Amino acid sequence: MSKLNKAITAALAAGMLTTAAAAEREAVLGFGGVFFKAENPAALAKWYEEHLGVKQTPKTYEEQPWVQAGGSTVFGVFNSKTKYFGADDQQFMFNFRVRDLDAMVAQLREAGIEVKVDPETYPNGRFARLADPEGNPIQLWQEMTPEQATNQ
């Protein structure tokens, strides 16, 4: 790490850089991919494509990857003891934004997939939970503004 990088890191940690100086630093633009292990990668990739519309990884340069719709992304880091993901051994949970939670839930249930809809409408929207065939937790989120949520 260069002396300049060390100085910037130390200044950031100490809260000494102004917002303008911090804004000049590079930041990531978003996720470029999500990569995880599976017992049966081909079958699981096909499940995500069939039921959630997440295209499989392109095998050629002519194929296009899945392009997600623009919108909010929450990057939440949880305590290692959290029960929020479900089983104690779960290290991650996918949260997918959906346009219409009710329509997506109906589609998944029609395919025989168990989905639990949270009955509460929160200031940031509505949620449902399911698991993929290998037990990985998935949360569906219909994002809403506080005003939209109040009118639900």
Within 13 A of 110's CA, how many CA atoms are on the CB side? 8
Kindly report, residue by residue over 135-151, the tens digit of the pLDDT: 999 999 999 877 787 77
Which has the closest alpha carbon to 129: 142, 138, 120, 121? 138
Distance CA(101)–CA(104), nearest Å, equals 5
* Domains observed in the chain: 91-151 (3.10.180.10)
Distance CA(51)–CA(128), nearest Å, equals 15
> Residue 46 corresponds to which amino acid?
K
Residue 120 near residue 96 (C-beta atoms within 8 A) = no
Residue 118 near residue 129 (C-beta atoms within 8 A) = yes
Kindly report, residue by residue over 53-111, the tens digit of the pLDDT: 999 999 999 999 999 998 999 999 999 999 999 888 889 999 999 999 999 999 999 99
Kindly report, residue by residue over 108-122, the tens digit of the pLDDT: 999 999 999 999 999
Is the pLDDT at 4 greater than 60, yes or no?
no
